[in-house]
Amino acid sequence: MLTTENETSINEITKIKNGTIVTPAGFKAGGLHSGVKRKRKDLGIVTCDTPAKAAAVYTLNVIQAAPLKITKESLAQEGKIQAVVVNSGNANACTGKQGEDDAYTMRKVTANKFSIPEHYVAIASTGIIGLEMPMEKIISGIEQLAPEATTKSAENFNEAILTTDVVTKSTCYATMINGKKVTMAGAAKGSGMIKPNMATMLAFITTDAVIESDMLQLALKEVTDKTFNCITVDGDTSTNDMVLVLASEKANNEPLSPSHPEWNTFVELLKTTCEDLAKMIAKDGEGATKLIEVEVNGAFNDSEAVQVAKSVVGSSLVKTAVYGSDANWGRIIAAVGYSGATVHPDKIDAAIGPIQLLKNSQPVHYSEEEATEYLQTDVVKITIDLHVGSGFGKAWGCDLTYDYVRINASYRS
């Protein structure tokens, strides 16, 4: 976490049970079926009453879809966004000049629809790579979008951005900054092509905090490294990933920056929101039945702790063992060994849930029946202590099942 000399505590952060992406002041959302997909909603929008301060991070894949280029251009002008239009069912990736023209058209039509400058519009797409956009359907759909500040309209947006996801993903929290209530909410999609360093995932976060775009970018970069960059489903990294944060600045707190006495509270609010969404994405991996959380203690530093956690949670052999409820700790320690982090081979402790498996790299007697029973739960936690230093880190993923192969073998069918 970013720290300042005059900050030693974090204010209480409270989950808003029924909060949505429109709970922070100033935001509206909506979603509908435009015809890109056969039946399900496939076009969504989030708007702000005024140009919102904005920040974004993108996939590390060097091949990036046209919507990312256009959104980067929009943000580069003033660091403000007032409308985000998102389609699912077609990624508009690897579509050449036509794809760029289509993304620009989406931006222009949205800007005209809501009477805002084009560079106040962000574009995001997700779905099949390499297909031209059905622009007549997209344009008609944009013209029909009517965002509202209601729970139903937020749910429509959440549904419209899904691809192979089984469930929608949203969360909302609030805290006090300068005696003012500051709210933050998020919605996301992601199920396959998920790897640390982003994934086939889109996340949209709204807040009413007062903060400049560059400060928002600073916080987002740090938080992304600890949340979205710590999830994996299948080891693939997509062409379309984006996390976009919008701040309406309607909470009336003093502008936030690292010198603000409650800066760490804001960073923790953002981290909590992003971690929720990241874990939901990991749990909803294609064909998944279990969320896997790997916690690493005693690493050389925090970076190496995360490195080890990613290695373990990304191991296909670990993932299949968890699916089979098999406490095969050999797969865990092997993933630790090839992680590239500093490791003393004779000092490693490992546990699955409450069940100790290794102590100083030596097997510990445990009940196979108890281990199997624990591994049949929805959330499986693997804890590792390297006894090298004080580094700490986490990563999240899911089990690897027969259904993952079935879903991806027929993705275009």
- For residue 77, give the nearest of 27, 106, 30, 116 by alpha carbon: 116
Q: Which tokens is 184 given?
A: 């933050």
Active site residues: 200
| Total Cβ atoms within 10 A of residue 362 | 9
Strands of 251-402, DSSP E: 291-299, 349-352, 355-359, 362-363, 379-385, 391-398
Calpha distance 209→255 (Å, rounded): 8
What distance in Å separates the CA atoms of residue 215 and residue 344, rounded to the nearest whole number? Answer: 39
Residue 128 to residue 266: CA distance in whole angstroms:
36
β-sheet bridge partners, residue 47:
28, 83
Residue written as token pair 């804001």: 266
Residue indicated by tokens 């937020």: 154
Residue in this structure with the two tokens 């092997």, named with its chain if needed: 334
User: What's the CA gap between 348 and 358, in Å, rounded?
Assistant: 7
CA 154 to centroid of chain Cα atoms? 18
DSSP 325: T
**DSSP conformation letters of 174-213:** EEEETTEEEEEEEEEEEEEEE-SS-EEEEEEEEE---B-H
- Per the CB < 8 A criterion, the answer to whether 44 and 151 are in contact is no
